[in-house]
Amino acid sequence: MSETASPAGAPPVLTEDGPGWRRIVLNRPDRLNSFNDALHAALREALEAAAADTSVRAVILTGAGRGFSAGQDLSDRVFDPAGPGPDLAATLDRNYNPLVRRLRAMPVPVIAAVNGVAAGAGANVALACDVVLAARSAKFIQAFSKIGLVPDSGGTWTLPRLVGRARAYALAALAEPVPAETAEAWGMIWRAVDDAALAAEAEALAARLAGMPTGALVTLREGLDHAETATLDLQLDWERDNQAALGRSADYREGVAAFLEKRAPKFTGRS
């Protein structure tokens, strides 16, 4: 694994490459990979590097140790009770919102491999990824209400769309842990897998996605996002315009040729 440098102590992010994919590991296991500024900076750098590297056609985001991420590092939030408190708008503007926007604009599919507890922003960063695999022992906790906050990192947008408003409200209000199997049953995540199989399942999925027409997979994400606010009429136009663009891609030509020649396609991810 290679390291993304951090000014303090152990590298907060590790990366590792496989065939066509890159794994990015949140690496503050003693703090359940909770986010501080150093982790945010290292993750930003790692995502930018993956986005810029054309050999990377799928990304796996996971955590070191027994957790995925416990959200904001609350030891950075010790403040004078008589003072105005921390400026949470600034931290969202500086760190969490760019992170979620970066994930949603990655030029390749992103898999969250949730290896353990995902709480607060940690849960919503995972849910912002394209495909979420979770270890059966993992749980998702919208921990925000326990400290007087509301879900951030896109949670108020993502949760009701994934699980419906009734479940979104109750699970965020009560901050109860949602086990991975329940998350799968509710449609919050793609699949819960045995703990010991998580890394291999994520790698196999990443390799599979990396061999697919990357442009179509990214356009698919954009189309699902677009549909959240579009009428059917507008969405039909969106499909026409984007299908037209994909129809001019090398991968489309290869897909059709491979079908007609009765062979496996060799997609290059080029548009």
Q: Which residues bind ligand T3D (CB under 6 A)?
A: 31-32, 34, 70-75, 77, 88, 91, 117, 119-121, 141, 143-144, 146-147, 149, 152
- CA–CA gap between residue 168 and residue 258 (Å, rounded): 44
Shortest Cβ distance from residue 134 to ligand T3D (Å)? 15
SS3 sequence, 228-259?
CCCCHHHHHHHHHHHHHHHCCCHHHHHHHHHH
- CA–CA gap between residue 113 and residue 138 (Å, rounded): 10
How many other CB atoms are found less than 10 A from the CB of residue 126? Answer: 29
217 closest CA partner among 241, 239, 246? 246
DSSP state of 122: H
Nearest to ligand T3D of 146, 253 (CB atom): 146
Residue nearest to ligand T3D (CB): 71
Nearest to ligand T3D of 152, 184 (CB atom): 152
Shortest Cβ distance from residue 73 to ligand T3D (Å)? 4
Shortest Cβ distance from residue 24 to ligand T3D (Å)? 19
Nearest to ligand T3D of 140, 267 (CB atom): 140
How many other CB atoms are found less than 10 A from the CB of residue 33? Answer: 29
Shortest Cβ distance from residue 66 to ligand T3D (Å)? 7
Nearest to ligand T3D of 140, 252 (CB atom): 140
Going along the chain, which residue ranges are E strands?
2-4, 13-18, 21-26, 58-63, 67-69, 110-114, 117-119, 131-135, 139-141, 178-179, 191-193
Nearest to ligand T3D of 74, 105 (CB atom): 74
Nearest to ligand T3D of 101, 146 (CB atom): 146
Residue 105 to residues 2, 8, 48, 99: CA-CA distances in angstroms?
Answer: 24, 29, 11, 10
- CA–CA gap between residue 49 and residue 230 (Å, rounded): 33
Shortest Cβ distance from residue 28 to ligand T3D (Å)? 9
Shortest Cβ distance from residue 47 to ligand T3D (Å)? 18
